[in-house]
Amino acid sequence: MVPARSIFAQSDKVEDDTPSARTGLQYFKWSTHMNRLMVLLFLLGLVVVSISAKFFFDATHEIQSASVEAPGSPAMSAALSAQDNVGLLETNRTRFAVVLVITVSWFALAMYLIARRIVVPANKMAVAARQMLQGNFGSTLPNDSKGDLGDVGKLLNDMSANFQEILLLTGTAVGNSLAALERLDSTVKSDSHSSSAEMQKHIEDMKRHLGTLQTMVQEFTFYQARFDGRAVFGDVADTQGTGGPAVDRENPAMEAIDKLVMSPGSKPKGNRHD
Amino acid sequence: MPMRVLVVDDSGFMRKRIIEELRGQGHSVVGEAKSGVEAIEMYRRLRPDLVTMDITMRDKDGITAAREIIGEDPEANIVFLTILKDEKFKIEAEKLGAKGFINKTDHQSIAKFVQEMDRKQ
């Protein structure tokens, strides 16, 4: 069996558009409003840390000063009146208020950025994926998302484009095959003036269109297997002369597919792959 | 002499098929674009000998992209590879000055066209 290869395998000439490839100037160009907000968030965090550190060292210094002066000076101890205590408490309250306001702002900005950068794009992706799951491939994600989530969104769009191409190809091949079959049917039903060459032409048309489908299917790897183009299902003639469907018996996945064989008048059981 | 080809198609697996076809003939695929916008940008940068262009794509369709490319470079060699058989697209492609309009599943016709283009180069 041919080794499985990703259908998304890229040529070696393709530009690497992964986040890891974006460096230096490229990253700067890629930088968006959201990235600048992230930098602002980081700077705000630094301010919180700096102010907290300053308050901590100020308080430490005041405690040390009080500890040094108080023991040797009874007058100093007496001077620590209730008014001084109130002043000290008010100073500390102001400091805590400043730290609290900055911290709350920091968290609010962080939550806003997380929501804008992760939650909203993730929700959009979920909506688009759900619509695709329901068969609506016209739904695509806007290209405004940047970063890793943006890359996932682009991949989702690319997958959607792939599905649409497969559907278009399948629909065209099936439609053309049916048209050829109808022509053949008309030819057979009409009087015997039609030549076998004409019928052969319709059959060749069908084979060509179905061949397109077969070639396409062979491009893909699924159920951890790859169809090799031979007949698989039981109601198809045994092309190998092995007395059964031509599947890779050593491959459990292909055996699983084989079990889905639809015998005349029955339906595959217990699966969603019909 | 091998041609330098830019492949434009929004479907990854279709690009892969076209690229394999072209490489099988000994040509060099210098770039892949998955939208009309990318195609124009890559054409400006790469100046390929031939562009294989899909028609239905997001962002910008193949007809519009080809019109812009030919507007900038009237010597551009563009062939439309599409599954659509709509006659209006074919007429539009001819009007634009495209070098061909081929069913993308018809590998024989693609191979023949590319060989002819190669001979003319």
* DSSP string across B15-74: HHHHHHHHHHTT-EEEEEESSHHHHHHHHHHH--SEEEE-SS-SSS-HHHHHHHHHHH-T
Task: Say whether pLDDT at A6 is over 70.
Answer: no
Q: Look at chain B and report how many structural domains it folds into.
A: 1
Domain identity same for A188 and A125: no
Check whether residue A119 and residue A228 sit in a common domain: no
A163 and A254 assigned to the same domain:
yes
Question: What dihedral do alpha carbons A232, A235, A241, A244 form, nearest 10°?
Answer: 70
3 state SS of A225: strand
Q: Specify the pLDDT at position A41.
A: 78
A150, part of any domain: no
**Is residue A70 pLDDT above 80, yes or no?**
no
pLDDT in tens, B10-20: 998 899 889 99
- Tally C-beta pairs within 8 A across A and B: 56
What would the pLDDT profile of A137-163 be if each residue is shown by its tens digit? 877 776 666 667 778 888 888 888 888
Judge whether residue A209 has pLDDT over 70.
yes
pLDDT the model gives residue A7: 36
Query: Do A68 and A123 reside in the same domain of the chain?
Result: yes
Across residues B110-114, what is the average pLDDT? 89
Q: Return mean pLDDT, chain A.
A: 70
Would the pTM of this model clear 0.80, i.e. be above it? no
The mean pLDDT of A15-28, rounded to a whole number, is 50
A102 shares its domain with A173 = no
Residue holding tokens 């919180």? A48
- Which residue carries 């040529």 as its tokens? A11
Structural domain of A62: 19-136
Name which of A92-96, A102-106, A121-125, A250-254 the model is least confident about: A250-254
Residue B9: its pLDDT value, please?
94
Residue A266 lies in a domain: no
Q: Is residue A207, in this structure, part of any structural domain at all?
A: yes
Q: Which residue has the higher pLDDT, B45 or A146?
A: B45
pLDDT-above-90 percentage for chain A: 4
Determine if residue B97 is left, alpha or beta; phi over 0 gives left, psi from -120 to 50 gives alpha, anything else beta.
left
DSSP SS3 for B6: strand
Following DSSP, what letter does each residue of B10-22 receive, concatenated?
A: S-HHHHHHHHHHH
Residue B105 to residue A219, Cβ atoms within 8 A = no
Domain coverage including residue B75: 4-120
pLDDT in tens, B66-101: 999 999 999 999 999 988 777 888 899 999 999 999
A170 and A215 part of one domain: yes
What pLDDT score was predicted for residue A229? 60
pLDDT band for B40, please (50, 70, 90 cuts). Answer: very high
- Residue A141: how many other CB atoms lie within 10 Å: 21
What pLDDT sits at residue A68?
61
Numbered residues of chain A with Cβ closer than 8 Å to any chain B Cβ: 7-11, 13-15, 140, 143, 157-158, 161-162, 164-166, 168-169, 172-173, 212, 215-216, 219-220
- pLDDT at residue A16 greater than cutoff 50: no
**Is residue A227 predicted with pLDDT exceeding 60?**
yes
**Residue B35: is its pLDDT beyond 60?**
yes
CB contact under 8 A, A169 and B32: no
Across A119-147, average pLDDT: 79
Per CB-CB distance under 8 Å, the chain A contacts of B19 are: 11
Number of structural domains chain A divides into: 2
What is the predicted pLDDT for the residue at A126?
A: 85
Of B78, B87, B34, give the one whose Cα is nearest residue B56. B34
| Within-domain flag for A4 | no
Considering the domain boundaries, does residue A264 fall inside one? no
Question: Does residue A241 sit within a domain?
Answer: yes
Whether residue A124 sits in one domain with residue A187? no
Residue A191 confidence (pLDDT): 65
A125 and A179 share a domain? no
pLDDT at residue number A33: 63
Minimal C-alpha gap between B35 and chain A (Å): 10
Across the interface, whether the CB atoms of A8 and B12 are under 8 A apart is answered yes
Residue after which a domain boundary falls, among A136, A167, A201: A136
CATH of residue B47: 3.40.50.2300
Task: Check residue B63 and give its pLDDT.
Answer: 94
Give the model's pLDDT for residue A85.
72
Average pLDDT over residues B46-54: 95
Which residues, listed in sequence order, are joined to residue B81 by a DSSP beta bridge? B102
What span, in angstroms and rounded, lies between the C-alpha atoms of A63 and A60?
5
- Cβ distance A140 to B17 less than 8 Å, yes or no, reads no
